[in-house]
Structure 1
Amino acid sequence: MMLLAIILFLVLVGAVLLYRPGLLPGSLAVAIGTVLLTFYHGGMWILLVPTLLVIGLLNVGQWRRRYLVEPVYAALRKAMPPMSVTEREALEAGTTWWEKDLFSGRPDWDRFAAINPPVLTEKEQSFLDNEVNTLCAMIDEWDEHQRQDLAPEVWDYLRQEGFFGLIIPEEFGGRDFSAYAQSRIMSKIASRSIAAAVTAMVPNSLGPGELLIKYGTQAQKEHWLPNLANGSELPCFGLTGPEVGSDAGAIPDIGVVCKDDFEGEQVLGLRLNFHKRWITLAPVATVVGLAFKLRDPDGLLGDPEKTDYGITCALLPATHPGVEIGRRHNPGAPFMNGPVMGTDVFIPLDWIIGGPEMAGKGWRMLIECLGAGRGISLPALATASSQMCYLTVGAYARIRRQFNMEVGKFEGVQEVTADIAAGAYTLEAMRQFVTRGLQDGTPSVMTSMAKYHATERMRRLVNHAMDVTGGRGIQLGPRNFLAAGYRALPVAITVEGANILTRSLMIFGQGAIRCHPYLFDEMETLSTENRASGVAAFEPLLLQHAGHVASNLVRVLLCGFTGARFTAVPADADQFSRRWYQRINHLSAALATAGDTALGVLAGDLKRRELLSARLGDVHSQLFIACSILKYRGTQPRSPSADAHAGFALQQCLYAAQQALLVFCDNFRPRWLGVSLRIACLPLGRAFPTPNDASITALGAEIMEPNPVRKAMAAHVYVSDNPEDSVGRVETTYQMLLTVDKAFQAFQRAWSKGELNADSLDDALAEAVALKVISEEEVEPLRAYDARRRDCVLTDHFETLL
């Protein structure tokens, strides 16, 4: 009887914590229920007394503030490390989106269901079908490699057709395309040439154009934007340097406020000294955007108490006196990249982007604008690379034969080709979901996820592709369809902040504060100078935060024991997706529980515990990616092939999230708490398996077929039909194989079994006709295909190497 009473008590408390009816109603429910249970079994007074004490502590305001709120406030205020100006600006910059729901532990699936996929306007689709296709047809990647530059006619076409003004409003002569359109455009160009894509990408991501649109004065917009749109001005942006890469807050470049002569009269301005490195388009740029630290030692800006204004952004012509530009770095891909330097460069104050009132606000400007590079451009490159790997490697694995069998049928090969198939599907899903999120704001955490996971997935898939193609992918030349993408990997990984930093610090470090429902507001109260007002503001947040933690703990336990089978899913969820949504519910509650535990135990020290924060970031990211896969699948035509791709990709995501969570728990200290977290999150052990061998071989076979997913991938990239083109050679050979495959397989089986004794192809074909293995009508198509097949597997060779 006592055991039953205790169980009922725990169920009562758990239900109150799970549903959170409010402090007073919940307290009354627990108090009344515990009293009734005490009447049921007298031994329950052991729980009744402490329960009533806790209820009294929570509900009597004076007791609560004295014995709970003020001690916690004091402890947290003491433990919270000082926050620099740049840290605060980074945290306050941008917005949040669906990633915040996932961090809450209780995703709002009705809100998710209301998210519609991005669509292209008629103008955007026309530009893709016409101008972008024309550009791709003009590009010769091997010619770019030899000249280490785009061809002059490609440069001219990029300017003439407005490729540098995709983000600029139509009133200034730009095309004013959406984030999704920009991504699709960059992907299609990248499928043809990474160098051309990077060249078009930079003016449309972090750079003067975006900064001017969002922050520039009307005069600055009218002066610069029309010429940026038509390509007569080509921009670059100087942020990184020899002493500063990902840590933009440590910029050593200085601008000092002073007076000097400019165009015949003395004006108030800035004297700049800067040394920038790794600046894309710098060697050909006509206008330079510049980030530097602004100082006003003489109080010329009007505030004698303020000397250091912080990071500021300005715009100046590349030909301005003192600016040194034009030399090139060699990043391994033939796009323009180089240094920009300046010594004692004087510029008027109104060359600050946004004018003098934007002095010192550059860091926030940059953080908010980095979203384009992280959420659009770099994932677009990664998506294009993955889709080209899908198309070319899938085709090549069917064309290339070893041991009398297509190499794509070997299980060892299928292990990596299945990953290529699922990865390409995943990256297309991510691209659509992320660009949709960018329509609603600038979610900095989401775009960090996109940049890191898209480029890392690109690295993995391109390496897989190289493994499958072997020497065919290694030997450089006009036949090679993988080399340019392989050489570009380090650029994608490094640009817009090193991936190590993005994973270790930004995704969870920034995400925990931005996505948590209470944490940022709590931090604001802890930094309040007036302690009394700080405590007053902190009190309701603390109570809500405590309820949030307790509710998620109960939720994750229920999910762990029931497989989350009774949790909510979107109203439009079908039989395939329902269980996936419920599994995401489970891991979302686990992430919220683990995240709050880490924040509570480690507090400010968490940002130095990069291994732990990175793993929580991995959980968060994988859940976001899984949601993007489900959204993408739900908006595409249904087919068994699409379900096979989506199911495999979802298994990869949830398994990766589970593994990251387990490693986090195994390394969390104190050890007993880590073990407790592991039990709470996964009480029945590992719940999310990795794809099994049957799934691997099935998807590895599917990538070689002309399936609906392959057709969808091909629609997003440029696939040449020229048999002399690097990609066109593989594609046309593959398409020819599909028309003769039945006869070719019969012929190959007969030859491999020794049924054909001929040594030459022609004699073997004649013998196969005589034996009725093939028909007479099939001889010429097979002879033509065999010639094409042999040509397809050849690599280039040269008399001399330059």
Structure 2
Amino acid sequence: MSTLIDLRKRYLSDPAFKMFKKVLPPLSDTEREAMEAGSVWWDGQLFSGSPDWNTLLNYPKPKLSAQEQEFIDTKLETLLGMLDDYQIVQEDRDLPPEVWEYLRKEKFFSLIISRKYGGLDFSAHANSTIVTRIATRSLSTAVSVMVPNSLGPGELLSHYGTEDQKDYWLPRLANGDDIPCFALTGPEAGSDAGSIPDQGTVCYGEYQGKEVLGIRVSWNKRYITLAPVATVLGLAFKLQDPDGLIGDKKDIGITCALIPVDHPGVEIGERHDPLNLAFMNGPTRGQDVFIPMEWVIGGQDFVGRGWRMLVECLSAGRGISLPALGTAVGHLAARTTGAYSYVRKQFGMSIGNFEGVAQAMGRIGGFTYMLEAARTLTTTSLDMKEKPGIVTAIAKYHMTEMARTILNDAMDVHAGRAIQLGPMNYLGHHYFGMPVAITVEGANILTRNLMIFGQGATRCHPFVLSEMEAAANPDTEQGAKDFDSLLAKHISFAVGNVAKSMLNAFSASAFNRSPVSGETAAYYRHLSRMSKALAVSADFAMLSLGGELKRRELVSARLGDVLSHLYLASATLKRFEDEGRQQQDLPMVHYAVQHCLHKCGVAFNEVFDNFPRKGIGRLLRTMLFPLGIHYQAPKDKVTVDIAKLLMKPGSHRERLTHLCYIGDKESDPVGIMERAFVAMHGVKDIERKLAKAVKAGEIPRKVSLKEKLEIALSAGIVTEADVEKMHNADQLRQKAIQVDHFAADQFKAGGLQPGKAA
């Protein structure tokens, strides 16, 4: 046995070890910290080639506690009733003072702060649910609530603050005495937060009349949400210690500090205009501002640890807040577009019955089901105390992109009803706001091209990170020994995946196991096949390209697309099981999973066609898909079935859009559409009687509804109660399809002046 191992080392692992060290992509300190931060969760299973589907289905079902549900049923509903998004965005350009006060008083800014410090200590699922529901009513308000509850002082203090910092700041943040913001990004550092140019220097300075050890820091930040109204500023900067006052290291690295905005030298209060939305966003600056060392989050022991702190805590923004905004778009658009498609008529029938409109509605319904599934699965990981950077990056990127697609479809279906801004328009502000969600917490282009697979290939792979550590071991002999053991396992892993992938190709995945029976069983088998194909492709990409893979962003992006759609399909299937296999939801499930499999196939085709080493691309296609890739986009029947479901009241529609706020005020735009929808469904039998009479020639075709009803009443086709019911429903329908208009003198140079719609 030892002879075989010696031969393997001499002729296989030792040469591979030397090659691996040569092609090993160099990791910067920030990249290494990003790799080591957080955790691997279900993404690791998908990357393994053999996902254990029972593990997925056994993850806890998302559930609200009694306290969380009570807060949502009372405090949240009260808040939603206070909001007038048209007034907030178009007139006041700010939340009303009473709303700010209510948010403070009822602890909307302290959803994640421990009860020990006066916060609510809600789960990630509750946090996400609250932000999603607010966002269906007002994006500006949702953003104002989500920021203190994601990446910011509250979260950083909770995880890393000293006891003195927690005891002082967390109760103030919990009670709303202080409003936080976090200054990370700037003109030169957006998605690449590691390139922060803002500098701090360890030195002595005066604070409260005494000379103390501290930091003199200068910064120029942009795009900082809540900065114009914040009372405490979280700040990230690069710290240097040229005089060695706190150690031998001169370039200490990224550091995070907490600074009261009334501290001398802090400049704050100006506003940006984020696509005409009304949430507070603006710049902050400081020049040679001295702060005591005790203001560093975590104290002096945590200087230089800011990057890791940020990477680990970014999961809240990426996994909770921004996916919540995307999901809100789905709930709102599915509810209202389904209703509008039923009440809006063209050529004598509901526009949702036209197949072109149905195609858009099918996509809205299928994507909305998938969005809610991904939202709940991702928050499940966070509530399990995981910090899955890859999963949350997938959620942020794909859920905001799906929301953009949904909005485009909803705008197309609503047509003129959607492009006229005013109190009646429930889509316009979301249309403006979605690019904001797509841009922040890492621009989507870079999230897709650099992060999902770029980090996932190393972080989620069963062996690569360990092999990299072995190759980087300064003790070359021990590194080679460790590498040999890992390489043997890696080869076995890769060969097994290749063999199983070829078996899948010729058996249509029939030998893969499924944890369920019924219509969704085959999906598990096909997803397992795609998982194996991803594992093989990732191995070949890393082996053949080495460090070059970092620069081959399109290869990374497409392999990341495979991983992402495996995750989204997994979430969809888990939701279907968690909710009791609701048969009415099957069209949405079919749409979502078929869409994901199709996207996986498209991504693989593009990888093979464009692989930098042409021979490798052809080899992968031959090994993995010798008979071709035959996963197709969802069929027309599935799309039309979803459109019909969106235009029909029932429990299926409530499940799909349960977080959409429907106000009971006469002026609530979603409420207006919902009441018209319900009323028109209530008279569908009367409409059938009229249509039958028209077809029989008993009622003229081209007369008004009023005339048709008069003729039908005199002919005994309908009753007086029918006529009244039909008139009432049509009045609601007419109101629902109207758009706002304004007096001409309300338009001045510079845009629409404050004032109610005429």
- Give the match for residue 359 of structure 1: 303
Match of 1:399 in 2: 343
Structure 2 gap segments, 5+ residues each: 748-752, 754-758
Cα distance change of structure 1 residues 161 and 675 upon mapping to structure 2, 3 Å threshold: same
Choose the corresponding residue for 1:240, options 162, 167, 185: 185
Aligned to 1:700: 643
On the 8 A contact 2:334/2:657 being kept in 1, the answer is no
Q: Name 1:97's counterpart in structure 2.
A: 41
CA deviation profile, 1:483-516 (whole Å, cap 9, x unmatched)? 1111101111001010000000100000111100
Partner in structure 1 of residue 94 of structure 2: 149
Equivalent residue number for residue 448 of structure 2: 503
Report the counterpart of residue 599 of structure 1 in structure 2: 542
How far apart, in 1, do the equivalents of 2:664 and 2:167 lie?
43
In 1: Cα distance, 2:376 partner to 2:742 partner: 43
Give 1:576 shift: 2.0
Specify the SS of the correspondent of 1:276.
strand
Alignment of 1:580-591 (within 5 A): 580-591=523-534
Equivalent residues in 2 for 1:378-527, closer than 5 Å? 378-440=322-384, 441-527=386-472
* 1:756 aligns with one of 699, 707, 721: 699
Q: Give the Cα separation in 2 of the matches to 1:334 and 1:753.
A: 56
Q: Distance between the aligned counterparts of 2:116 and 2:264, measured in 1?
A: 32
Counterpart code for 1:198:
V
Q: Please point out which of 24, 27, 45 is paired with 1:80.
A: 24
Aligned to 1:45: none
User: 2:243 aligned to 298, 301, 323, which one?
Assistant: 298
The amino acid across from 1:461 in the alignment is: I
Secondary structure class of the residue paired with 1:255: strand
Contact in 2 for aligned 1:722/1:732 (Cα 8 Å): no
More off after superposition, 85-94 vs 111-120: 111-120
State the Cα distance separating 1:774 from its structure 2 match.
Answer: 2.6
Instruction: Tell me the alpha carbon deviations over residues 637-677 of structure 1, each in whole angstroms, 9 at most, x when there is no partner.
Output: 44332111111111111111111111111111322321221
2:682 aligns with 739
Structure 2 distance, partners of 1:162, 1:671, is 58
SS state at 1:191 partner: helix
1:790 paired residue number: 734
Q: Contact 1:721/1:732 (CA < 8 Å) preserved in 2?
A: no
Runs of 4+ in 1 over 6 A off after TM superposition: none
Q: Tell me, yes or no, if the aligned pair for 1:622 and 1:656 is still in contact at 8 Å.
A: yes
- The residue aligned with 2:229 is 284
Letter aligned with residue 671 of structure 1: K
C-alpha displacement at 1:772, in angstroms? 3.9
Pick the aligned partner of 2:206 from 252, 258, 261.
261
Distance 2:210 2:4 in 1: 71
- Relative distance call for 1:750 and 1:325 in structure 2 (3 A) is farther
Does 2:224 align with 1:275? no
| Equivalent residue, structure 1, for 2:58 | 114
Amino acid at match of 2:12: L
2:667 aligned residue: 724
Q: Do the aligned partners of residues 359 and 796 (structure 1) sit closer, same or farther apart at CA in structure 2, a change above 3 Å counting? A: same
In the alignment of these two chains, the number of paired residues is 742
1:243-268 Cα offsets, whole Å, 9 max, x none, are 11111111000010000111011000
Aligned mates of 1:772, 1:446 — CA distance in 2: 63
In the TM superposition, what whole-angstrom CA distance separates every residue of 1:47-73 from its partner, at most 9, and x where no partner exists?
xxxxxxxxxxx9623222222111111
1:508 counterpart SS class: helix
Match of 1:620 among 540, 553, 563: 563
* Distance in 2 between residues matched to 1:591 and 1:761, nearest whole Å: 59
Q: 1:326 aligns with which of 252, 269, 276?
A: 269
Question: Match of 1:559?
Answer: 504
- Contact (CA 8 Å) 1:404, 1:748: kept in 2 or not? no
Residue 193 (structure 1) shift: 0.5
Offset at residue 754 of structure 1 (A): 6.3
The CA distance in 2 between the partners of 1:372 and 1:592, in whole Å, is 28
The aligned residue for residue 534 of structure 1 is: 479
Contact 1:564–1:582 (Cα < 8 Å) also in 2: yes
- For each residue in 1:22-55, what CA deviation from the matched residue of structure 2 results, as whole angstroms up to 9, or x when unmatched? xx7xxxxxxxxxxxxxxxxxxxxxxxxxxxxxxx
1:775-800 deviations in Å (ceiling 9; x for gaps)? 33200010111111111111101012
1:344 is matched with 288
**What's the counterpart of residue 676 of structure 1?**
619
Could you tell me which of 636, 642, 647 is aligned with 2:590? 647
- What one-letter code is carried by the residue in structure 2 that aligns with 1:194? L
- The alpha-carbon deviation at position 748 of structure 1 amounts to 4.8
* Pairing of 1:656-667 with structure 2 (within 5 A): 656-667=599-610
Identity of aligned residues (%): 47
Match of 2:71 in 1: 127
Q: Residue 220 of structure 1 is aligned with which of 160, 165, 182?
A: 165
- 1:690 Cα offset (Å): 1.4
Tell me how far apart the structure 2 counterparts of residues 754 and 138 of structure 1 sit (CA, whole Å): 52
Question: Is 1:66 aligned to residue 16 of structure 2?
Answer: no
Report deviation, 1:762. Answer: 2.7
Task: Verify the 8 A CA contact 2:335 2:660 in the aligned structure 1.
Answer: no
Q: Which amino acid aligns with 2:66?
A: E
SS in 2 for 1:664: helix
2:331 touches 2:658 (CA, 8 Å); kept in 1? no
Once the two structures are TM-superposed, the CA of residue 420 in structure 1 deviates from its matched residue by: 0.2
User: Within 1, Cα distance between the matches of 2:183 and 2:396?
Assistant: 20
Distance of 1:634 and 1:169 partners within structure 2: 32
Asked if the contact 1:616/1:661 (under 8 Å) is kept, the reply is yes
8 Å CA contact retained: 1:238, 1:290: yes
Query: What's the TM-score once normalised by structure 1's chain length?
Result: 0.91
Q: CA deviation at 1:584?
A: 0.7
Secondary structure of the structure 2 residue equivalent to 1:427? helix
Shift in alpha-carbon separation, 1:243–1:768, aligned structure 2, 3 A: same
Q: Structure 1 stretch 349-358 or stretch 694-703: which is displaced more?
A: 694-703
Q: Helix, strand or coil: the match of 2:479? A: helix
2:576 is equivalent to residue 633 of structure 1: yes
Q: 2:340 & 2:387 partners in 1: Cα distance? A: 40
Please give the alpha-carbon distance, in whole angstroms, between the structure 1 residues aligned to 2:717 and 2:599: 49
SS in 2 for 1:321: coil
The AA in structure 2 aligned to 1:150 is: L
- Secondary structure in structure 1 of the residue aligned to 2:629: coil
Structure 1 residues 255-264 or 675-684, which shifts more?
675-684
Residue type matched to 2:290 in 1? F
| Contact kept in structure 1, 2:662 and 2:668, CA below 8 Å | no
Separation in structure 2 between the aligned mates of residue 623 and residue 59 of structure 1, nearest angstrom: 42
Asked whether the 8 Å contact 2:576–2:582 carries over to 1, the reply is no
User: How far did residue 761 of structure 1 move?
Assistant: 3.4
Higher Rg of the two aligned structures: 1
